[in-house]
A = this chain, B = another copy of it.
Amino acid sequence: MKRKITLKQIAKELDVSISTVSKSLRNSLEIGEETRLKVQAFAKFYNYKPNNIALSLKNRKTKSIGIIIPEIVHYFFSTVINGIEQVANEYGYSVVICVSDDSFDKEVLNMEMLANGSIDGFIMSLSKETQYKGDFHHITEVINQGMPVVMFDRVTNDILCDKVIIDDKAAAYEAVQSLIDNGRKKIALVTTVDYVSVGKLRTDGYEKALLDNGIAFSEDLIIKIEDVDTCEITISELLHARAFDAVFAVNELFAVTIIKTANKMGLKVPEDLAVIAFTDGIISKYSTPTITTVSQSGEKMGSKAAKMLIERLEAEEDDDEEHTENYTTEVIETHLIKRESTD
């Protein structure tokens, strides 16, 4: 077992100075051809590669970006990571991933762990608990330290930084409008608890679509679900009452649960009940019937976020501390993917 070779070892072996080795390897003209080639040959033979850590320390940049997300076993988030990873790789960055598990404390801890030099910048989506508490001091802190942060999807207005989002409100509006266009009148909304920013926005879009079409908006048709596993009862009750003929669900898990419940009761989708879900994931594609969804383009969000972050990082390099705080919020386009759950 041979440990990785260092400049120092090469220098000692060839009986030259460390600087000579370093310069030879970087093809500096300062070094005579003979020495240069000798060093290069030796380095190649021993497969010399500069130590990343030492480089990071010297250059004050790690060439890696930190990702903080609420969950990883989650189609949307994993597509986002995929998008980030691809761009990062392209630019020679690695990604280090931390999962907050939707816990505020973990989010804070993870950020602190990474903020002490491990990474050059963050890409993150807020945990539920963080959104609920409204406490963003940990994010402010890293930003104040001069570390760029890009937020995506679950963002907050309380923090000034680059953001990548979809127009949740407009997308919800479009989805609900399409249900109305198909003659649906009683459209239910199945959503999460309020403090999740995107849930709120989607509710707004839903409401606006109804009102714009002269349909009464009723709180009774809004079903707020905290735990997927226990929601079946609520849903089946409402279905029994035939309270609605269409559903807009803020995620595909809710949607598929609704469809299954409806099927059990002998209701047909889409004839008796049309369903549209947010988040175009794998469930929608393979459920029976397949589910009409609003594509959320996680990959595009990820790659966009990564590009914004890296751009800022490389810009910093030139301007060197010049602070042009022109934060932008990128809105990724969504579109409706029509499948079998609507007519």
Contact = CB atoms under 8 A, between A and B. Distances in A.
Contacts of A256: 286
B99 A96 contact: no
A82 B75 contact: no
Nearest to A257: B286
Interface in A45-89: 47, 49-54, 56-57, 62, 64, 72-75, 78-79, 81-82, 85, 89
Interface string A293-334: 000000000000000000000000000000100000000000
Contact of A260 (B94, B115, B144, B288): B288
A78 B73 contact: yes
B96 A94 contact: yes
Interface of A: 1-4, 47, 49-54, 56-57, 62, 64, 72-75, 78-79, 81-82, 85, 89, 92, 94-99, 106, 110, 112-118, 141, 144-146, 253, 256, 260, 263, 282-283, 286-288, 323
A117 B283 contact: no
A72 B82 contact: yes
A22 B50 CA distance: 28
A145 B96 contact: no
A116 B47 CA distance: 11
Given A57-B57, A146-B3, A286-B256, A99 B75 contact: no
Contacts of A110: 89
Contact of A1 (B85, B98, B99, B146): B146
Contacts of A51: 116-117
Contact of A97 (B53, B95, B141, B286): B95
Contacts of A72: 78, 81-82, 85
Max count, chain B CB within 10 A of own CB: residue among A81, A95, A117, A323: A117
A78 B85 CA distance: 14
Given A286-B283, A323-B1, A112 B82 contact: no
Nearest to A48: B116
Nearest to A290: B260
Contacts of A99: 82, 85
B283 A116 contact: no
Contact of A49 (B2, B79, B85, B112): B112
Contact of A144 (B2, B95, B263): B2
Contacts of A263: 288
Nearest to A1: B146
Nearest to A253: B286
Contact of A85 (B98, B146, B282, B287): B98
Contacts of A260: 286, 288
A3 B282 contact: no
A12 B317 CA distance: 27
B114 A94 contact: yes
Given A78-B72, A99-B85, A116 B4 contact: yes
Nearest to A144: B1
Contacts of A117: 4, 51-54
